[in-house]
Amino acid sequence: MGKEVLNQILQKIKDYQKIIITRHVRPDGDCVGSTLGLKYLLQETFKDKDIRVINEDYVEYLKFLGEEDQQVDKSFYQDALVIVVDTATDSRVSNKLFKEGKEIIKIDHHIETCPYGDINWVEEEKSAAAEMIAELYNNFKDQLVMNKKAATAIYTGIITDTGRFRFASVNGDTLRNASILLDQNIDTQKLFAQLYLKDFNYYKLQGKIFKDIKITENGVAYVYITNKIKKKYKLSMDDASSLISMIDSIKGSIIWVAFIDNDDKTIRVRLRSRFAEINKIAEKYRGGGHAQASGAVLHHKKEIKEILADLDQEIKNYKENNQDWL
């Protein structure tokens, strides 16, 4: 995508006095970091504008990046620009009023299926939405003013969505964009402590997960976090969801899955892979996402068996047709 769309976005930002920034529901480091980072960047640059990040949910572990703003009356939206970041479809936007905005800009790095913006800047190959915010800044360094707080939030988005720069989506641009953020003297020791430190209880839980982990014939590793386990270990939905990363490094297991009981009797599925593509299978089970990181929702326990069979077949096909997997 050319620089034209970036020029259009900057022009819209300049044109509006009120800007509302929003993101997807069930936030992660990328959408929180990119939205708050964009707010701090624009506030530092345009001191007289009214810029707010407004959403309907938040997560405890990212609150170190800052509080979000309270919802406002519909009338506030009428002459406001709404910027939606990191959200593929309008149904996943964490702000029911976002379409009340006068104009909408979509900034996203998921596969484009729903161009709901008046301007849509969507680049599927970008490692993180936060990388796109860094790129916006990088393109207009002469007109935008970065500060440490903004850089820390945006950098958090990049490191969380790239597995700390490990994922295949990381390229030279990712590092170039990240480097201008580090120039702001981000306190990385503190940042990584905020992201990594766990309660003692979590280590006990880790032991249980390692004990309970199962693997299918062709190598789909999976765990099932039931409501009972959540209760016993006092896990929030976010804590339970984060356990997927505990089973990501088993040789030959190129797909891994966490099933997590939702309170409404559905089951949240978090799917991850190396090499193999999983988003089509996620779509079959009311979900979607990226080739190597997707999510889905199951309505019955019996669907666990079905999705595992589909994923197992996917690994089988992959291993039969490719030799470079580990």
Interacting residue ranges for ligand AMP, rule: CB under 6 A: 28, 88, 110, 270, 287-290, 293-297
CB of 158 to ligand AMP, least distance (A): 15
Which residue, 18 or 290, has its beta carbon nearer to ligand AMP? Answer: 290
Residue closer to ligand AMP (CB basis): 33 or 295: 295
Q: Report how far residue 302's alpha carbon sits from residue 69's, in angstroms, rounded to the nearest whole number.
A: 41
Cβ 286 to ligand AMP, closest distance in Å? 6
Cα distance between residue 264 and residue 272, in whole Å:
24
- Find, among 227, 212, 306, the residue nearest to 262 by Cα: 227
Smaller CB separation from ligand AMP, 227 or 266: 266
DSSP notation for 121-155: EE-TT-S-HHHHHHHHHHHTTTT----HHHHHHHH
Nearer to ligand AMP among residue 12 and residue 23 (C-beta): 23
Measured from the CB atom, is 51 or 108 closer to ligand AMP?
108
Please report how close the Cβ of residue 191 comes to ligand AMP at its closest, in angstroms: 20
Distance CA 81, CA 123 (A): 21
Q: How far is the CB of 285 from ligand AMP (least distance, A)?
A: 9
Cβ proximity of 66 and 186 under 8 Å: no
Q: Is 175 exposed, middle or buried (0-12, 13-18, 19+ CB in 10 A)?
A: middle
Q: Shortest approach of ligand AMP to residue 242 CB, angstroms? A: 10
